[in-house]
Amino acid sequence: MVQKIDRQELQMLFLEALSGAEYRYVEGLNPFRILLNGTEYWIYIKNLTSAHFENPDVWRAQLPQRDDFNPIKESEADFILLGYDGENDVYATWNPIWVKQRLNSTGNVSFYSRLSLQQQARAEKQFKRMELSNEGEVVVFPRELIRMFFINVKSYFLAEGDYVAMGSKRRPEANEAFKTFTDAANVADFARYLGDEGMSQVTIGNYCRVIKNLISDGTITRNRKIFYAYDSLVEYRMAVGQFVALDEVKEKNERWHNLISAALNAYIDFLTRISPEIRPDGHIPFVEEATEDEDEPVQEVSEEDEPVDEPVSNLFDYFCSDEALRRYEQYLTPKDYLPATVKRYVRAIKFLLNAGMIQLHRDLFDACSSYKEYAGAADKFFSIPDIHALNEHKHHDFSAAMKQYIAFLSETQAYARNEEEPHLLQEGDPIPYGIQTEPEPIPAPEPIVHDWEAEFRDESGKLTRIANPELIDILRPYLDAEYPKKAAAFNAIEKFYPEWFSTMTLAEWGKLMNDINWADPYVHDDPQAASSVSSLSVSLEAPKRSKTHILRVEFPDGTVLQERNVSETYAKAIKLIDPELVALVELSHAGVSVVSKTLDSKYAQYQKPIGDGWYVMTNSSTTTKCTDLQAISDELELDLKVYLVPLDGSEITVLPRVEVPEGTRAKIRVTFPDGRVVFPAKVLEALVKVVKYAGAERVRELGIICCGDNLILKNPSPRYQKPSKPVGGGWLCNTCSDTGTKFAQITEISNRLALGLVVEML
């Protein structure tokens, strides 16, 4: 017989699964109201049990008639009914609109599921959907995926009367396409894709914010009719114009500087490239981009190996072909461009083709009789508002790449220009100047040692910007934090610039510190690019600084981590320590926690997945990563040995242990009735002292839940053994929670036991 769980425990299991999400509990005890991701929900959880039919596979959750459902039925908030199978630890849920309509409609309303489906969802750890005989459907998923369910809740069930027929069995492709399109979990991979395409961090952040907002606030879901008119993601490009023309989207588009079309087209391009089974059948030329190892040399193609051109009768077809793009890259490579610029230009043209933007405006190019005339068509193309906005946000990379692409086609494709072939030399004819001998290779320029101080200094000799990357890395732990420590930053500057520090006032130094954009602190002009003849060879990417050290982490059990990639070592160490424990240390960079279960729209490309939904923020210097691991080791008493290993082969013992900067995390101060004050460096010590003062058994009787169990316990699970601290009488206090939770726990203990404590978070 299925053991039923009381409604309070059902609620606690639900809230435990939401741990880490941005939610606020408002009121109620099952049903209860919460705010999650900016949306208000009423939640009601019931046990799933056998329906006692002849078929034992049929299970159900029953919705009773209750007075407290009346205000819920009248409210505008969504109502979510969850049936819970405790044995398989899964939820079943049904269309929220359909369920809300049946609140208090009769004595008991049954909502059905299948035991086999519940078992399958647990075994495969995935969402499972089944259409039921009463025209409804049930969605079943493991409890740990509850956050994912709420991210995509609007896409699991279509609104009644809104394309129900179109969203039925007859059109599974359309359903799958829309489900993929509105899955906010794609945003992180989308950010990495944009990075691979060579887009700037600013553009990546803007595009990801646009997509995330359109999904999370329901703008796309409310206007699903536009997208459900198409069966595949690649056809969604035809829906973008209609979508952007909607009044509510127009208003957003104006606020977001006309970014919506560009962001959606880029997002669709990303989705179609990662989902080969729903790629176009060929009616839109689709350029595949082969992945290339940046460290591998580009293989030269000899004349013998060079493929022979097939005659091409259509200018536009060749313009969109991958053969033309391959030759375009070969055309740019021997010129005076940086390799990064060559790759960026090729990627720019591929992006315009893969997004279907060029094909959408084919009429501009078809009016031309030669590639020379394509230059005028390109000017018209980049004057189109959406494409102009995209080009602006990409620092005119697209128009620059197009200009060079058209120049290449004009120079190399004689058949396209309808010009006569050049006169072939006859024996005895004079050889034209310039082709008698092979051109001598241009020697590589000498490496330039950049004088950052000379470049950013005014006539009076004062600095106008903190641009030296070494100083920026030193200042980051002090300034790129929730509570900047300017005094420590002043000291660091004085050590770095001992001869200059006194020549400027503290106010002047303070202004320079305030002017640092920690999202993008480095100067973006590559010094070596300044000597280029062409202005197009100026790199817009941050200069690569030579790496001098890597990380080495030694664990007490003998495990050693030392990868060539510092971020890899850092992430592996945090995963081995346990990210849930690392979260207790509350380290952050650029306002993003070092470990998190949510992706930041601005820094998603720097958050490295390490499993179980955790991400590690890697946007910090090697030295900062070293100090992070030392701080984690000290805080959690792990006894790790963390080193910076020189790459020049010298012994690691040469480098002293990196000094951990003074913490800037919030702390808890507790004042006891007798006047005694506790204000420890470690927040967990404040909780432990309060529990000891109150008495562990008395606190246990309060039933405060932490990590799915009582705050006070004797036999914690292996995962929580280390953060569980002794509080007397053989009892342990689970300190695995953040500062805000500990503050709430201490306050609750004081209030419910009438301890009279004064609890402050500073």
- Per-residue pLDDT tens for 313-344? 478 888 888 888 888 888 887 765 667 678 77
pLDDT score for 324: 87
In a domain, residue 543? The reply is no
Residues of the chain with pLDDT > 90, as a percent, come to 14
The pLDDT tens digits for 341-368 are 787 788 888 888 877 788 888 889 888 8
Mark whether 623 and 733 lie in a shared domain: no
In a domain, residue 288? The reply is no
Query: Nearest-5° angle of CA 464, CA 466, CA 469?
Result: 145
Q: How far apart are CA 391 and CA 371, in angstroms?
A: 22
Q: Is the pLDDT assigned to residue 546 strictly greater than 80?
A: no
Confidence of residue 84 (pLDDT cuts 50, 70, 90): very high
Over residues 124-128, mean pLDDT: 89
In 3D space, the residue among 350, 305, 310 whose CA is nearest the CA of residue 326 turns out to be: 350
Mark whether 613 and 682 lie in a shared domain: no
Q: Is the pLDDT assigned to residue 306 strictly greater than 80?
A: no
Lowest-pLDDT choice from 177-181, 417-421, 627-631: 417-421
Q: Is 649 exposed, middle or buried (0-12, 13-18, 19+ CB in 10 A)?
A: exposed
Confidence of residue 83 (pLDDT cuts 50, 70, 90): very high
The pLDDT tens digits for 184-223 are 888 888 888 887 776 777 778 888 889 988 987 778 877 8
pLDDT score for 692: 94
pLDDT score for 482: 61
Residues of the chain with pLDDT > 70, as a percent, come to 78
Over residues 448-456, mean pLDDT: 61
Q: How far apart are CA 45 and CA 144, in angstroms?
A: 15
pLDDT score for 696: 94
Mark whether 647 and 750 lie in a shared domain: no
Instruction: Name the average pLDDT for the chain.
Output: 76
Query: Nearest-5° angle of CA 242, CA 243, CA 245?
Result: 65
The pLDDT tens digits for 130-173 are 877 654 688 999 999 998 888 777 667 654 433 333 333 445 66
Last residue of a domain, one of 654, 685, 704: 654
Last residue of a domain, one of 256, 278, 300: 278
Q: Is the pLDDT assigned to residue 527 strictly greater than 50?
A: no
Over residues 415-444, mean pLDDT: 41
In a domain, residue 597? The reply is yes
Where is mean pLDDT largest: 179-188, 446-455, 558-567, 689-698? 689-698
Mark whether 633 and 674 lie in a shared domain: no
Q: Rounded to the nearest 5°, which phi and psi values hold at 111?
A: -120, 125
Over residues 475-479, mean pLDDT: 82
Mark whether 650 and 672 lie in a shared domain: no
In a domain, residue 302? The reply is no
In 3D space, the residue among 757, 691, 703, 753 whose CA is nearest the CA of residue 728 turns out to be: 691
More confident position, 380 or 708: 380
Mark whether 596 and 645 lie in a shared domain: yes
In a domain, residue 365? The reply is yes
What is the residue range of 367's domain?
315-417
Which residues are 725's β-sheet partners?
733
3-state secondary structure of 496: helix
Which residues are 668's β-sheet partners?
761
Mark whether 474 and 573 lie in a shared domain: no
pLDDT score for 59: 92
In 3D space, the residue among 617, 643, 616 whose CA is nearest the CA of residue 630 turns out to be: 643
What is the number of structural domains in the chain? 6
In a domain, residue 346? The reply is yes
Mark whether 404 and 469 lie in a shared domain: no
More confident position, 699 or 600: 699
Q: How far apart are CA 359 and CA 372, in angstroms?
A: 19
Mark whether 237 and 133 lie in a shared domain: no
Over residues 565-570, mean pLDDT: 88
Confidence of residue 78 (pLDDT cuts 50, 70, 90): confident
User: For every residue of 120-143, which 3-state class applies, written as one string?
Assistant: HHHHHCCCEEEECCCCCEEEEEEH
Confidence of residue 532 (pLDDT cuts 50, 70, 90): very low
Mark whether 514 and 558 lie in a shared domain: no
The pLDDT tens digits for 493-522 are 888 887 777 778 877 888 888 888 877 787
DSSP letter (8 states) at residue 475: H
Q: Is the pLDDT assigned to residue 468 strictly greater than 90?
A: no
Sole residue written with tokens 């120049």: 407
Over residues 239-253, mean pLDDT: 86
More confident position, 85 or 744: 85
pLDDT score for 133: 60
In a domain, residue 439? The reply is no
pLDDT score for 648: 63
In 3D space, the residue among 499, 490, 427 whose CA is nearest the CA of residue 461 turns out to be: 499
User: For every residue of 190-257, which 3-state class applies, written as one string?
Assistant: HHHHHHHCCCCHHHHHHHHHHHHHHHHCCHHHHCHHHHHCCCCHHHHHHHHHHHHCCHHHHHHHHHCC
In a domain, residue 505? The reply is yes
pLDDT score for 286: 34
Over residues 679-707, mean pLDDT: 90
Last residue of a domain, one of 96, 125, 157: 157
Mark whether 200 and 252 lie in a shared domain: yes
Mark whether 673 and 609 lie in a shared domain: no
Lowest-pLDDT choice from 35-39, 61-65, 147-151, 366-370: 35-39
